[in-house]
Amino acid sequence: MSDKTTAQPDLLSHQNRPRATKRFRLSLLAAAGLVSALSLGGHALAQNTPPATPVEAETVQNSKMDSTLFYQLLVGEVQARSGDFGSAYQIYLELGRRHKNPELFKRAIEIALQARAGEEALGAAKAWRQALPQSREAAEYVSQIAIALGRTADLTDPLKSLIQQSPAPQQPRLIASIPRSLSRLPDRKAAARIIDEVTESWRTKTPELAEAWVASGEGWLGAGDKDKAMAALERALKANPAYIGNGLLAINLMEGNAKAESIAKTQLERQDTPGVLRLTYARKLAASQRMAEAGEQLDLLVQSSPDDPAAWLTLGAVRMELKQYDKAELALTRFLSLRHSAEASPGTPAEETEESPHQADATVDQAYLLLSQLEDQRGQYQKSLEWLEKVNSQTDSLLIQSQKARLLAKLGKIEEARQVIQSLPEDEPRDVVMKLQAEAQLLRDANRVDDAYKVLEQATTRFPQEPDLLYDQAMLAERLHRFEDMERLLRQAMTLAPDNPHNYNALGYSLADRNIRLEESRELITKALSIKPGDPFITDSMGWLEFRSGHPDEAMKLLKEAYTARPDPEIAAHLGEVLWSQGQQDEARAVWRQARERDPKNEALKETLKRLRVRL
């Protein structure tokens, strides 16, 4: 199965979605043309016309519309043009009901949307459905407008009709698309209930439809009920073990759920596994900081699908995270080669790509940014700037200018670099926050920690409700050994963002590293793991706590687990120290050497080697 076959269509096709129209500018003559086009051929206004004979078919047929209707339609257009949307809407709505004509109902909906009168647009769509209950298009309009308005009570019946009125072979794909269609609803539990109501007959009939069960599972996962989502996944597996949606749902349920990950791995072992499933799994691993495993999956993917640009781009990003710069460069240049080849071969059918031109341009810019960062890490600052110059300036001004500023700073132009950041526009308050973070990072990288702290101190005074700023300031406070300030800032951040595991982990690790209040440290790190189980950096913190608590065996187990998932130099520093303390000095040296090859400037690694008086 090719990857492109897995993309689900939107239940509400974009061709028929109601949309806001430009201000109506038809002249009376043009309006008359619109009137003539409304229904004179095949719609309800001509239903009473006897069939034409062959002879009659050769003659010009005049409109069967009487002068009264013609005049009413013209009045409606004049009212719309003059801005009297209420009168125009009522004219078209009444005419639509009287003549049961879809075009008249559509015009009433257009006028309501033009006036930003959502409820009236929904009323016209409902009237259309009432007049023509077998119209799939009418059900589509009702569904789309109800979703836009968040009117969950009006969705079940039209959505069900949309599916029932579609050809049977299309129904499974339409059912699979329902969760995406309802993703805009703010009430996620209501959305899940609607999905279950709409798909009930396809989940209860024999044979059960896997697509319907997966749709149910996605709905409940979105609503935060992982138990219901898991139960739906198990029913889907029984209905059709080969359905790709099973694997995708299992991947989305993986975090903290070993059974779901086992299901995902089983799906990946199938010979007919589509590439999109392995790519999704790899991205999930990367998001969970399991970079080494993500790299392994992506290596398998590019072997089986060497012309898949998305796989190469993701592999390049993962290799960058692993500080495997040569491999990252190979992956990224391969991605760009595939993209450029596609651009040089026009005429590819639009349906053969899942990306819009805008999305394709954005991924190319992402590759350029990664290559710029790669050369930055290598110390090749001029090459880094050259890659940066290729990026479309519209992609992300702050990201690009921040990278440019970092390069200027590394060339010794600190104040010029700060000016680049400070001169960026501030379209909204969040832009100010991001600029302050970027400036502080710039100073921190230049080892001007005191100046960076002052920038963030001013920032948290201006924006005391921004937990990210508080966290950044806390990390600098720790670096300056201002531990009381660090703890105060992190506790403020915990209050503002109670579901962010990094605040708990940072304080818990700091206590463990200073070998104080170890029970409190355990509570904090345990809390962090409960929010983000399996995170290698939090696992590293717990391993380091166990070492400080006198449990070297448990520490070794946890640190090896963390290092396998993410071979980060700081985790390597901890693992190596535990190995060293247990007399496994050769193993410790091997871990440290590997880490130094990845990042010879890492402060944690350098401090550990200096403290233990180890020369590699």
**Whole-number pLDDT of residue 172:** 95
Residue 38 has pLDDT above 70, yes or no: no
The Cα 112–Cα 121 span in angstroms is 5
pLDDT given at position 67? 65
From CA 541, how far away is CA 577, in angstroms rounded? Answer: 14
Peptide bond into 567 cis (omega under 30): no
| Cβ 245 vs Cβ 199: under 8 Å | no
pLDDT of amino acid 359: 63
SS3 call for 582: coil
Give me the pLDDT at residue 32, please: 42
pLDDT digits (tens, 9 = 90+) for 152-206: 999 999 999 999 989 999 999 999 999 999 998 999 999 999 999 999 999 998 8
* 151 phi/psi in degrees, rounded to 5: -90, 80
Q: Does the pLDDT value for residue 581 go beyond 50? A: yes
Q: What is d(CA 42, CA 329) in angstroms, rounded to the nearest whole number? A: 60
Q: Which residues of 493-513 are buried (b: 16+ CB within 10 A; e: fewer)?
A: bbebbeebbbbbbbbbbbbbb
The pLDDT score that the predictor gives to residue 347 is 52
DSSP state string for 371-422: HHHHHHHHT-HHHHHHHHHTS-TTS-HHHHHHHHHHHHHHTT-HHHHHHHHH
Helices (H), 480-614: 483-496, 501-513, 518-531, 536-548, 552-565, 569-581, 585-598, 603-611
Q: What's the pLDDT score for residue 83?
A: 82
Best-predicted range by mean pLDDT (3-7, 59-63, 409-413): 409-413
Report the alpha-carbon distance of residue 233 to residue 210 in Å, rounded.
9
Position 273 confidence tier, pLDDT thresholds 50, 70, 90: confident
- Token pair belonging to 585: 């000095």
CA 353 to chain centroid, in Å, comes to 18
Mean pLDDT to the nearest integer, 58-71: 57
pLDDT (0 to 100) of residue 87: 86
Q: What does the pLDDT average to over 581-607?
A: 93
Give the pLDDT mean for 247-257. Answer: 93
Residue 355's pLDDT is 53
Helices (H) and strands (E) in the chain, counts: 34, 0
CB 213 within 8 Å of CB 233? yes
Question: What's the confidence (pLDDT) of residue 157?
Answer: 93
pLDDT in tens, 414-452: 999 999 888 888 878 788 898 999 999 999 988 899 999
The 8 Å CB, 24+ separation contacts for 424-433 are 424/397, 424/398, 425/397, 429/463, 431/398, 432/462, 432/463, 433/459, 433/463, 433/466, 433/468, 433/469
Q: Which residue has the higher pLDDT, 87 or 537?
A: 537
pLDDT bin (cut points 50, 70, 90) of residue 54 is very low
Cα 161 from Cα 142, distance rounded (Å): 11
Q: What is the pLDDT of residue 547?
A: 97
- pTM value surpassing 0.75: no
pLDDT per residue as tens digits for the range 92-139? 888 889 889 899 999 999 999 988 999 999 999 999 999 999 999 999
Out of 280-289, 389-398, 468-477, 495-504, least confident range: 389-398
Over range 359-377, report the average pLDDT. 88
3-class DSSP assignment, residue 262: helix
The sign one gets for the Cα dihedral 99, 102, 104, 105 is: positive
The answer, yes or no, to whether residue 34 has pLDDT greater than 50, is no
Per-residue tokens: 190: 């209501």
Of 16-25, 378-387, 548-557, 607-616, the least confident? 16-25
Q: How high is the pLDDT of residue 65?
A: 57
Average pLDDT over residues 294-299: 96
Residues 6+ apart with CB under 8 A from 179: 191, 195, 215, 218, 219, 222
Which residue matches tokens 């502080």?
A: 440
Rg (CA), the chain: 31
3-state secondary structure of 367: helix
How far is the C-alpha of 512 from the C-alpha of 366, rounded, in Å? 38
Q: Are 479 and 513 in contact, with CB atoms under 8 Å apart?
A: no
Average pLDDT over residues 258-284: 92
Q: Mean pLDDT throughout 237-258?
A: 94
The HSE-up count of residue 356 (CA atoms within 13 Å, CB side) is: 2
The band of 35, judged by pLDDT with boundaries at 50, 70 and 90, is very low
- In this structure, what token pair is assigned to residue 16? 């028929």
Long-range CB contacts (within 8 A, 24+) of 128-135:
128/96, 128/102, 129/158, 131/96, 131/97, 131/100, 131/105, 132/100, 132/102, 134/165, 135/102
- The owner of tokens 């005191």 is 450
* Residue-level pLDDT at 9: 40
- Is a pLDDT exceeding 50 seen at residue 353? no
- Residue 445, pLDDT score: 87
Tell me which of 343 and 473 has the higher pLDDT. Answer: 473
Which pLDDT does position 79 carry in this prediction?
77
pLDDT at 16: 40
Burial of 549 (0-12, 13-18, 19+ CB in 10 A): middle
Q: What is the pLDDT of residue 361?
A: 75
pLDDT by residue (tens digit) across 191-227?
Answer: 999 999 999 999 998 889 999 999 999 999 999 999 9
How is 288-337 classified by DSSP, letter by letter?
TT-HHHHHHHHHHHHHH-TT-HHHHHHHHHHHHHTT-HHHHHHHHHHHHH
How many angstroms separate the CA atoms of 306 and 328, rounded? 15
Please list, in sequence order, all residues whose beta carbon lies within 8 angstroms of the beta carbon of residue 511, skipping any fewer than 6 positions away.
517, 518, 520, 521, 524
pLDDT of 58 above 60: no
> 502-558 pLDDT, tens per residue?
999 999 999 999 999 999 999 999 999 999 999 999 999 999 999 999 999 999 999
Contact 495, 504 (CB under 8 A): no
Q: Rounded distance, CA 248 to CA 210, Å? A: 13
Give yes or no for a contact between 605 and 573, defined as CB atoms under 8 angstroms apart.
yes
Phi, psi of 57, deg, nearest 5: -65, -25
Model confidence band, residue 85 (pLDDT cutoffs 50, 70, 90): confident
